[in-house]
């Protein structure tokens, strides 16, 4: 299992590097594809992945990405409202085939997976986006790795005993601090690639620490959904890792936080 997980992990890192290196249409298509697969995994949990509700959600996701690449953000809210209206239309005229929870989770999937993951593409398309996108993975995966190490060494107090018995407060603190440290180190290196008017080391440290903190919520949130529905993994798409949502659970939350923090702190648009 460890060997399989390691090989899959290495392949994932290589694919992520290639996809993000080229940017543009490559990153756009990859992010959109990952979003659609993630939505499929989530909707399969409630057994509506091939239903009329799902078709509306998938169509909404595709239209959302088209608006994104065409820089037509002003039409995103009307699109979201249209999706909600169509979902309720199906709910009403096929009653009692679907429950309101089906409608709610289907609508939720559009935001939780598509909109939040799309921030990967948004960051990549910023000026110096090829360098800035690294912050997402330093925050999410860096926090996860360092939290595990800190927890193993110093962990005593359970953070969420019922949901994730192995996670500790000490591990969480170590992970967030470690993510901030990785951000600071990366900031020191990035001065060779980014001509910025701000302190890269400080900004990157703060952004990565904040991203690392919110990634804990993303990780636990995905686990909570699985616990609610009694499943171990969202799928077996990635050997040793599970599905898209199993591997990208923390990134789903980290990407938008990184994007909007950069916009707030640095003034990037």
Predicted confidence at residue 55, as pLDDT, reads 98
What pLDDT, on the 0 to 100 scale, is given for residue 269?
45
What is the pLDDT, as a whole number, of residue 265? Answer: 72
3-state secondary structure the chain: CHHHHHHHHHHHHHHHHHHHHHCHHHHHHHHHHHHHHHHHHHHHHCCCCCCHHHHHHHHHHHHHHHHHHCCCHHHHHHHHHHHHHHHHHHHHHCCCCCCHHHHHHHHHHHHHHHHHHHHHHHHHCCCCHHHHCHHHHHHHHHHHHHHHHHHHHHCCCEEECCCEEEEEHHHHHHHHHHHHHHHHHHHHHHCCCCCCCCCHHHHHHHHHHHHHHHHHHHHHHHHHHHHHHCCCCCCCCECCCECHHHHHHHHHHHHHHHHHHHHHHCCCC
% the chain with pLDDT above 90: 55
Per-residue pLDDT, 143: 86
Q: What is the pLDDT of residue 12?
A: 73
Tens digits of residue pLDDT in 9-34: 677 778 877 888 788 999 999 999 99
- pTM equals 0.89
Residues in the chain where the model's pLDDT stays below 50: 269
Q: What pLDDT does 5 receive? A: 60
Write out pLDDT tens, residues 198-214.
Answer: 788 999 999 999 999 99
Question: What is the per-residue pLDDT for 240?
Answer: 64
């Amino acid at each position: 299992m460890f060997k399989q997980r390691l090989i899959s992990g290495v392949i994932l890192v290589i694919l992520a590097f290639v996809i993000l290196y080229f940017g543009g249409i490559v990153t756009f298509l990859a992010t959109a594809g990952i979003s659609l697969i993630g939505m499929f995994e989530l909707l399969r949990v409630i057994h509506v992945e091939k239903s009329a509700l799902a078709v509306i959600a998938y169509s909404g996701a595709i239209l959302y990405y088209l608006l994104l690449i065409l820089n037509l953000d002003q039409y995103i809210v009307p699109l979201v409202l249209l999706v909600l209206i169509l979902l309720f239309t199906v709910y009403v005229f096929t009653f009692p085939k679907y429950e309101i929870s089906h409608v709610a989770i289907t609508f939720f999937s559009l935001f939780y997976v598509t909109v939040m993951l799309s921030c990967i593409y948004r960051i990549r398309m910023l000026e110096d986006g090829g360098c800035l996108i690294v912050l997402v993975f330093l925050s999410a995966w860096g926090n996860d790795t360092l939290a595990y190490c800190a927890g193993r060494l110093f962990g005593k107090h359970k953070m969420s005993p019922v949901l994730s018995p192995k996670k500790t407060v000490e591990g969480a603190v170590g992970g967030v601090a470690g993510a901030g440290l990785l951000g600071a180190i990366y900031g020191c290196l990035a001065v060779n690639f980014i001509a910025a008017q701000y302190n890269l080391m400080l900004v990157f440290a703060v952004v990565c620490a904040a991203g690392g903190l919110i990634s804990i919520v993303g990780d636990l949130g995905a686990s909570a959904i699985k616990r609610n529905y009694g499943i171990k993994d969202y799928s077996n798409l990635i050997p040793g890792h599970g599905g898209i949502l199993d591997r990208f659970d923390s990134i789903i939350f980290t990407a938008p936080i990184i994007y909007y923090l950069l916009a707030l702190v640095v003034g990037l648009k």
